[in-house]
Amino acid sequence: MSAEGTGLLREPTAVDAVVAREVQVAGMRMSALCAEVADPRAVLVAVHGGATSARYFDVPGRPWLSLLRLGARLGFTVLALDRPGYGASEPWDATFDVPQRRVDASYAAIDALLGSSGRGAGVFLAGHSAGCDLAARMAADDRGDELLGLELAGTGVHKRPEAIRVIEQIRKTRKAGGIRELLWSPTESYPPEVVGGRSLTVGTPGYEVAVVHDWPTDFPVLAAQVRVPVRLTDAEYEQVWRTDPAARAEIEGFFTATPHFAHNQQAGSGHNVSVGFGAAAYHLGLLSFVEECGLRSAPSRNQFDV
């Protein structure tokens, strides 16, 4: 049988397409990578972490690890936003020092990107690492009540002792090599072209320093205002944040208004769960949770009929 006959080689289809787009928001440009389907089951909006970009969710040359491509193949529209101050909005980074401006710009960008396109069961928001700050703020906003749900990955409130030691060393030496080792460990769990952030690292807006510094105190306040289902994902080999049972229980306790809280430990993954070799497993689980949230929001409707 030929390779073509096995289905291993074929022409790209609409659901394979990832398109880079820009939209105007309050006189500024915002950018995103988009994988859109005609009649989506739901819309998943993904928010990258620090010093990366929307490309984090679509690593070049690794389609099976791409959240955008996998999501579209399974019937979801997926938008990976460049956070305010990243990508096309980098020239306006100082505008986003105020957190509410980041929230407003992101909601406006989602609306502009989707336009009149279908949203299926609704919009679900997923944040990673430093991007959890924006995702949590958007979910805590009044508009967050309309979301299907919220995923937070690669975050916490208490750092591990080794991470604290490395951060203190960085402050003394101004060399960030140690933190890269923590974020990209174990190296064998990642494709070699991304280890240490290679091919993914970009500059960061000035407000990111405040985001990182204030997150442990902001997180509990924001979490208490989230009124949609929440899933928290910890990587099995997370090296920055504590993920022990006590730390997980403390975070769950922050979400006093959510109707449903789920915890996920992602087997075989390091901190950067969406670009490691375990990314497909993580993305499948995330999309499954999105589907569950759609059913919870409207169990009598038929958005998810095959």
Q: Which CATH number fits domain 3-160+201-297: 3.40.50.460, 3.40.50.1820, 3.40.30.10, 3.40.640.10?
A: 3.40.50.1820
Amino acid, res. 248: R
- One pLDDT digit (tens) per residue for the chain, 306 residues: 333 333 333 333 444 589 999 999 999 999 999 999 999 999 999 999 999 999 999 999 999 999 999 999 999 999 999 999 999 999 999 999 999 999 999 999 999 999 999 999 999 999 999 999 999 999 999 999 999 999 999 999 999 999 999 988 887 876 666 888 899 999 999 999 999 998 999 999 999 999 999 999 999 999 999 999 999 999 999 999 999 999 999 999 999 999 999 999 999 999 999 999 999 999 999 999 999 999 998 755 554 554
Residue 104 has phi, psi (to 5 degrees) of -60, -45
**Cα(296)–Cα(227) distance, rounded to whole angstroms?**
13
**Cα(211)–Cα(277) distance, rounded to whole angstroms?**
28
Mean pLDDT of the chain: 92
**Cα(86)–Cα(90) distance, rounded to whole angstroms?**
5
The domain segmentation of the chain, as residue ranges, is: 3-160+201-297
Percent of the chain with pLDDT over 90: 85
If you ran DSSP here, which 8-state letter would residue 230 be given? E
244 Cβ contact partners less than 8 Å away, ≥ 6 residues apart: none
Q: Are 127 and 153 within 8 A, CB to CB? A: yes
**Cα(111)–Cα(90) distance, rounded to whole angstroms?**
20
At 299 the pLDDT is: 59
- The pLDDT tens digits of the residues spanning 165-184 come to 998 888 787 666 688 889 99
Give exposure, 136-156, as e/b (b: 16+ Cβ within 10 Å).
bbbbbbeebeebbbbbbbbbb
From 30, 33, 126, 112, select the one nearest 72 (Cα to Cα): 33
At 173 the pLDDT is: 75
- The pLDDT tens digits of the residues spanning 127-160 come to 999 999 999 999 999 999 999 999 999 999 999 9
